Amino acid sequence: MAVAAPTTLAGRLSQLGPGLIISAAIVGSGELIVVPKLGATTGFALLWFLVLGCVLKVFVQIELARHAIAHQETTLASLDTLPGPRWRVSWVLWAWMLMYCGTVLQVGGIIGGITLICGMLGLAWPPWVWLVLTTGSGIALLVSGRYGPVERYSTVMVAIFTLATVVAVGALHWTEFRVTPAQWAEGLWPTQPAAFTLAFAAFGVTGVGASELIYYPYWCLEKGYGRNVGPPPDGGAWSAGRGAWVARAKGWLGVMRLDAFVSMIIYTLGTVSFYVLGAAVLHQTARDVPDNELLGRLADMYRQTLGEWSHTLFLVGALVVLYSTFFVATASNARLLVDAGGLLGLRAAGRTTEERRTAVQRACVLLPLASATAFVVAGNPVALVLIGAVGQGLMLPLLAGAAVYFRHRRLPPDLAPSPAWTGALWTSALLIAIVGLYQLIRTIGLG
């Protein structure tokens, strides 16, 4: 049933949720490893560029969600409308399927990272026990296939890891690695990066990635933004029904934008916190620390200077960061798997709402098992995350182009954003496309 969007700030804040879900996915393995290592290499010099990367990408995220709400159409269904070769579905969906397989493997790497942190916390059970507990708990929390539990658990995890990382950075003030006002000023004042390779890396690892750009419209639809707008009425553009529909659509699109910007603030805060830890601590003590020792070095710094409580707090925050990524990625990937099956005409995907929910429930069981199996077989979390990164690099330019295409070719004219917003969208899309191609070339060793 179509309903008008709330007009007060309190009312709009009560309708937030999709952004909190993807925030739980965005602050993940990249922020735990790549961002502190970048800070260790460059000091505070690229802090402003990380913030810019988080802010700019939100325009493509919002445009994909705007299209989904206006058409009440999932991301994969929208991508299936793009021009180009087809074999049952659009060529873009076949490209996405390659990324999807890499993402499932990447989640296996994240599960492996969780087992490693459990060991660092001094939890003496063997790794296979933590593997089983991680996989089993994810299945138990997600098996209902409903939106509500995903939003509630994601909100709790976002609150925990945000608090833990902010406290970790604040605690630096009582150590020899305290961050001075001059260092903050150096980091936030825009300067030309010393190496464009590092600049590309900074932009690529921050903010929404290819997976989150695809996930976000799904959660907007499950939250009910599109359902509350209702289907566009038949008839002329100036009919009374059309006017009411446009008013509802603009109201709920405003709620969605607020949701996206609130989530941007959250994941930017998390990204900045991990970068500052690398810039303040590792830049002075261990610039060339291996990836598999980085978290241990940071945690040991807290133990040596502030005591066991700070060491434990840092590792608990890191553990929640990884678990929240595993949780949201699995919930999102389950919906994508069912949606892709429906577009391919597979009966297992279901036709009714109840059948699709049952299919999502099954996927929420099968996907964690598949990811855990990938980790057991490969035994190398970093390699699994790298495979996922290749797929992400492949999809980023395609998603950026799709957002621009939807804006100019499929968006109803009466929902079109301002010229300034469209300019920001083009800027965001071009940078995302360039960085995505660059990451892909670097990752597969062609550059």
| Tens of pLDDT, residues 202-260 | 666 677 888 899 999 999 999 999 999 988 776 555 566 788 899 999 999 999 999 99
- pLDDT at residue 12 greater than cutoff 90: yes
- pLDDT at residue 282 greater than cutoff 70: yes
- Choice between 152 and 436, residue whose per-residue pLDDT is larger: 152
**pLDDT confidence of residue 389:** 66
DSSP string, 198-260: HHHHHHHHSS--HHHHHHHHHHHHHHTHHHHH-PPPSS-TTSHHHHHHHHHHHHHHHHHHHHH
Report whether 70 contacts 337 (CB < 8 A): no
Whole-number Å distance between alpha carbons of 256 and 229:
12
pLDDT, mean of residues 26-45: 78
Report whether 402 contacts 78 (CB < 8 A): yes
Mean pLDDT of all residues belonging to the chain: 86
194 DSSP assignment: S
- pLDDT at residue 386 greater than cutoff 90: no
Backbone φ, ψ for residue 87 (5° rounding): -145, 95
With a pLDDT cut of 90, the percent of the chain lying above it is 44
**pLDDT confidence of residue 447:** 47
pLDDT, mean of residues 21-45: 81
- pLDDT at residue 305 greater than cutoff 60: yes
Q: Which residue, 16, 6, 13, is CA-closest to 223?
A: 16
Residues 6+ apart with CB under 8 A from 161: 27, 270, 317, 320, 321, 324
**pLDDT confidence of residue 346:** 87
- For the ranges 62-66, 238-242, 306-310, 321-325, the maximum mean pLDDT occurs at 62-66
Could you read off the pLDDT of 61-93 as tens digits, one per residue?
999 999 999 999 999 999 999 999 999 999 999
Whole-number Å distance between alpha carbons of 381 and 108:
7
**pLDDT confidence of residue 239:** 63
